Amino acid sequence: MLKAPVQTPEKQAASRIRILPDRVANQIAAGEVVERPAAVVKELVENSLDAGASRIDVYFEDGGRRLIRVEDDGCGMCPDDVLLALERHATSKLRDAADLNAIHSFGFRGEALPSIASVSRFTLRSRAEGWAEGTEVTVHSGRVNDTRAVGMAAGTRIEVAHLFESVPARRKFLKSDRTESAHIALCCRLLAVAHPGVSFSLSENGRTVFRSPACPGLSERVAEVFGRELAAELRPIEVSRPGLRLSGLISRPGQGRATRSELFWYANERPVENRVLSGTLLEAAKGFIPRGRFPAAFLFLDIQPDALDVNVHPTKREIRLRDETSVRNFVAEAVLNRMEELARESSQRLSAPIENPGPSALRPAVTPGPGVRPAARTLAEPDRTPGPQPARDTVQRMPATLPVRPPVAATNAPAKRPCPAGDALPSRWRYLGTAHGNFVLFETPDGLLCLNRTAAQSRVFYEDYLQSLREGSLLAQQLLFPRLFELPPLLADILERHTDFFRANGFGVESFGGDSFRVTSLPAWFEGEGCEDFIKEAVERIAENGMRPDRDAELARDTLARLASAHAARTSAPADEMEVLALARRLMSCKNPLADPRGRPTYFELSRGEMEKR
Ligand code: ADP
Ligand code: MG
């Protein structure tokens, strides 16, 4: 007699696989999508924005644990859609895979609502335009409890109560109410800033955190949401090139914040975190922001969606840039240029021509440009004076000035050049003397001015240096005896790969076997000992910032220029009156006369009013 076939272990194993009920799948997904109350707020507000809302009100209690409510006046949902919206992978924003490359909405996965509803007591009420009444549905931990018709204005209101009540394991991971509230507040502020045209409010436990009407622009919105004091320190920036656009607000030169926590990036209107973007901004703004302070910024990068990878994590703000180098170069250049422009604008305030200049010992050097009175006593700007002049020697003794000046400046007759506004400035300053070796005092029409000589030298050197590089007029001097030095292996590796970069900057460095190198030439500006230390420091900076000089040319050049200017100012001898005046004049024609490349102020002014008060 045949026995009934016995089930083989394989067959038993095959039947062990099951498709998870949606409710469980949603709870698992919820772990990713809603890691904390702020993530719920973000998903709901983004849905409201996607729905075209012109008003969004967010309310929450106890760090969002007890209650989160988001109400909007957007397009709303018809009764069928209200139920569909709670199904997994139900979305109105994506039809097929092709759409994935051209997403203009915040959501598209159709995961947020079912996930949130699976871990809370969830109430959604919505009325689409053209419908007589709205629909309300309540869901408890993923089970639809009740659906009914309700009277309401067009739009949507979603309440999420007792978040994670049914998932105690997740509840444990929440931080204090205060921390969770802070996350919610930041999330709402950032979204509000990105959409100035939407009226927005946030309240917690019956107290308003912020409330802003629709604003005409970003600046007004930042003032409403982050405060007027911060907004007043910011200036607009806007630069585009095909496929890339950078716009927003950035600290004006000379201003800065105590921490880097007010530095925000958006990519295609989403708040994002990206080390390339924030690092580039910090680097580029360095010379314009006081030392030890940080720029504040709200910067929006518009970029082709396929140049971004936003799917690194479903809710985290991190993004990956497909072509980091070109974005980095674009941002660095945009920020540097804008900061220079702003710095120039604010220094022109000082140098505006005056009607009746008082008697001054010092007048402009060369035949003055329009608007400048003729000189009483000429103070030749040495590098622009044709023919051999004693002043020329003076300049060469002053190492903070490049020995090789750009040919343009040397060949053009100064009188034919339009006189930069800054050039006239020192004519309105009366030299008073030097204090403690490094501080030069001037009387100005408005008060007293104190110039930090080394900072000024650094700044002047830095700009001359970059100019010479651009014009290819940076000279190198061959060393009679090449110098040998060694680097730690990691640094040696980096230097070896970038000897071309160093050569282009005047440092003839060659690999000499193992981790050793030989220096055969130095830039003409380099004075004093310690070229090995200088090169080592430059390599360290490059390593520290993960720079690739062959690709991140702009940043690498800037890093080297900054080191060079610090070195030059350090090794320079004290200057006499003539030199100091030439320096002051040259400083005022710099693109950014306000600070040295490390961000130290080059001068400060004490107004007459202030002196009288004291
Ligand atoms: P996604 O945003 O990825 O589409 P969600 O789960 O966040 O997925 O939302 C599902 C759908 O519900 C959306 O596609 C949208 O059609 C609808 N919806 C959600 N919130 C709103 C809202 N505030 N106003 C109008 N429709 C909404
Ligand atoms: Mg969504």
Supply the DSSP symbol for 5. P
Greater model confidence, 382 or 253: 253
Provide mean pLDDT across the span 203-214.
95
Structural tokens at position 12: 């038993």
Q: Which tens digits make up the pLDDT trace of 258-301?
A: 888 899 999 998 899 888 899 999 988 888 888 788 999 999 99
Q: Which tens digits make up the pLDDT trace of 24-39?
A: 777 776 666 788 999 9
Q: Do residue 324 and residue 429 come from a single domain?
A: no
Residues 364, 366, 367, 369, CA torsion sign: negative
pLDDT on residue 262 = 92
Contacts of 238 (CB under 8 A, 6+ apart): 245, 246, 247, 248
pLDDT on residue 92 = 74
Q: Is-contact 280 334, C-beta < 8 A?
A: no
Q: Which tens digits make up the pLDDT trace of 123-141?
A: 999 999 999 999 999 999 8
**Whether residue 115 has its Cβ less than 6 Å from ligand 1:** no
For a mutational test of ligand 1's pocket, the pick from 108, 113, 136, i.e. the residue with the most ligand atoms closer than 8 A to its C-beta, is: 113
Nearest ligand to the CA of 135 is 1
Q: Do residue 311 and residue 377 come from a single domain?
A: no
For a mutational test of ligand 1's pocket, the pick from 40, 47, 71, 136, i.e. the residue with the most ligand atoms closer than 8 A to its C-beta, is: 47
**Whether residue 26 has its Cβ less than 6 Å from ligand 1:** no
419, pLDDT greater than 70: no
**Whether residue 116 has its Cβ less than 6 Å from ligand 1:** no
Contacts of 148 (CB under 8 A, 6+ apart): 135, 136
Residue 524 forms part of a structural domain: yes
Query: What is the count of structural domains for the chain?
Result: 3
Supply the DSSP symbol for 318. B
Q: What distance in angstroms lies between residue 92's CA and the mean position of ligand 1's atoms?
A: 7
Pairing of strands 199-204, 55-61: parallel
Q: Which ligand 1 atom sits nearest the alpha carbon of residue 48? A: 23
pLDDT on residue 364 = 27
Please give the Cα distance from 320 to 310 (Å, whole number).
7
Q: What distance in angstroms lies between residue 59's CA and the mean position of ligand 1's atoms?
A: 19
Residue 246 pairs in a beta bridge with 239, 301
**CB half-sphere exposure, 244, CA atoms < 13 A:** 18
Please state whether 289 falls in left (phi above 0), alpha (psi between -120 and 50) or beta. Answer: beta
Main-chain phi, psi angles of 282, to 5 degrees: -60, -45
Type of residue found at 487: L
**Whether residue 49 has its Cβ less than 6 Å from ligand 1:** no
Residue 218 forms part of a structural domain: no
Q: CA nearest 201: which of 172, 224, 228, 232?
A: 224
Q: Is-contact 525 298, C-beta < 8 A?
A: no
Q: Is-contact 394 578, C-beta < 8 A?
A: yes
**Whether residue 382 has its Cβ less than 6 Å from ligand 1:** no
Provide mean pLDDT across the span 531-559.
86
Residue 525 forms part of a structural domain: yes
Q: What distance in angstroms lies between residue 159's CA and the mean position of ligand 1's atoms?
A: 14
Q: What is the mean pLDDT of the chain?
A: 80
Please give the Cα distance from 505 to 521 (Å, whole number).
11
Q: Which ligand 1 atom sits nearest the alpha carbon of residue 155? A: 24
**Whether residue 91 has its Cβ less than 6 Å from ligand 1:** yes
Q: At what angle do helices 177-194 and 218-226 cross, to 10 degrees?
A: 160
Number of H helices, E strands in the chain: 20, 22
Q: Do residue 583 and residue 498 come from a single domain?
A: yes
Q: Which tens digits make up the pLDDT trace of 84-114?
A: 998 877 777 666 666 656 666 676 667 889 9
Q: What distance in angstroms lies between residue 211's CA and the mean position of ligand 1's atoms?
A: 24
Residues 71, 75, 77, 78, CA torsion sign: positive
Least reliable range by pLDDT among 103-117, 138-152, 308-322 = 308-322
Q: In 269-283, which positions are buried (b, 16+ CB within 10 angstroms) versus exposed (e)?
A: ebbbebebbbbbbbb
Q: What is the pTM of this model?
A: 0.63
Residue 463 CA to its chain's centroid (Å): 22
Residue 304 forms part of a structural domain: yes
**Whether residue 55 has its Cβ less than 6 Å from ligand 1:** no
**Whether residue 108 has its Cβ less than 6 Å from ligand 1:** yes
Inter-CA distances, 591 with 283, 284, 288, 342, Å: 17, 14, 11, 9
Please give the Cα distance from 191 to 43 (Å, whole number).
11
Nearest alpha carbon, ligand 1 atom 21: 47
Q: Do residue 245 and residue 105 come from a single domain?
A: no
Residue 502 CA to its chain's centroid (Å): 28
Q: What distance in angstroms lies between residue 112's CA and the mean position of ligand 2's atoms?
A: 5
Residue 614 pLDDT class (50, 70, 90 cuts): confident
pLDDT on residue 382 = 31
Greater model confidence, 406 or 452: 452
Q: CA nearest 251: which of 221, 285, 295?
A: 295
Which domain-ending residue is among 212, 242, 277? 212
Q: Do residue 503 and residue 392 come from a single domain?
A: yes
Q: Is-contact 246 331, C-beta < 8 A?
A: yes
Residue 505 forms part of a structural domain: yes
Main-chain phi, psi angles of 459, to 5 degrees: -60, -50
**Whether residue 29 has its Cβ less than 6 Å from ligand 1:** no
Residue 542 forms part of a structural domain: yes
CB atoms within 10 A of CB 229: 8
Continuous H helices in 202-307: 218-226, 228-232, 275-285
CATH at 300: 3.30.230.10
376, pLDDT greater than 60: no
Q: Which tens digits make up the pLDDT trace of 150-208?
A: 999 999 999 999 998 888 777 777 888 899 999 999 999 999 999 999 999 999 998 99
Structural tokens at position 535: 């090169």
Q: Do residue 405 and residue 332 come from a single domain?
A: no
Q: Is-contact 402 461, C-beta < 8 A?
A: yes
Q: Which ligand 1 atom sits nearest the alpha carbon of residue 113? A: 6
Q: Do residue 202 and residue 237 come from a single domain?
A: no
Place of tokens 């010479």: 468
Q: Do residue 341 and residue 389 come from a single domain?
A: no
For a mutational test of ligand 1's pocket, the pick from 34, 49, 50, i.e. the residue with the most ligand atoms closer than 8 A to its C-beta, is: 50
Q: Do residue 389 and residue 339 come from a single domain?
A: no
**Whether residue 117 has its Cβ less than 6 Å from ligand 1:** no
Contacts of 5 (CB under 8 A, 6+ apart): none
CB atoms within 10 A of CB 93: 15
Q: Is-contact 56 202, C-beta < 8 A?
A: no
Q: What distance in angstroms lies between residue 74's CA and the mean position of ligand 1's atoms?
A: 11
Please give the Cα distance from 304 to 109 (Å, whole number).
20
Q: What distance in angstroms lies between residue 243's CA and the mean position of ligand 2's atoms?
A: 27
Greater model confidence, 437 or 488: 488
Residue 434 forms part of a structural domain: yes
Q: Quick one: what percent of the chain has pLDDT higher than 90?
A: 41
Q: Do residue 441 and residue 504 come from a single domain?
A: yes
Q: CA nearest 293: which of 381, 233, 367?
A: 233
Which domain-ending residue is among 212, 241, 264? 212
**Whether residue 93 has its Cβ less than 6 Å from ligand 1:** yes
Residues 493, 494, 498, 501, CA torsion sign: negative
Nearest ligand to the CA of 26 is 1
Q: What distance in angstroms lies between residue 82's CA and the mean position of ligand 1's atoms?
A: 9
Can you state the percent helix, strand and coil of the chain, rounding each to 5? 40, 25, 35
CA dihedral (385, 390, 392, 394) in degrees, to 10, reads -130
Q: What domain range includes position 331?
A: 227-350
Structural tokens at position 240: 């585009």
**Whether residue 74 has its Cβ less than 6 Å from ligand 1:** yes
Rounded CA Rg of the chain: 32
Nearest ligand to the CA of 91 is 1
Residue 13 forms part of a structural domain: no
Q: What distance in angstroms lies between residue 40's CA and the mean position of ligand 1's atoms?
A: 13
Q: What distance in angstroms lies between residue 72's CA and the mean position of ligand 1's atoms?
A: 12
Which domain-ending residue is among 297, 320, 350? 350
Ion ligand 2 — residues with CB under 5 Å?
A: 47, 107, 112
**Whether residue 135 has its Cβ less than 6 Å from ligand 1:** no
Inter-CA distances, 596 with 167, 459, 468, 577, Å: 56, 5, 18, 21
Nearest ligand to the CA of 99 is 1
Greater model confidence, 392 or 317: 317
Q: Do residue 421 and residue 342 come from a single domain?
A: no
CATH at 513: 3.30.1370.100
CATH at 110: 3.30.565.10
Q: Do residue 207 and residue 338 come from a single domain?
A: no
Nearest alpha carbon, ligand 1 atom 14: 91
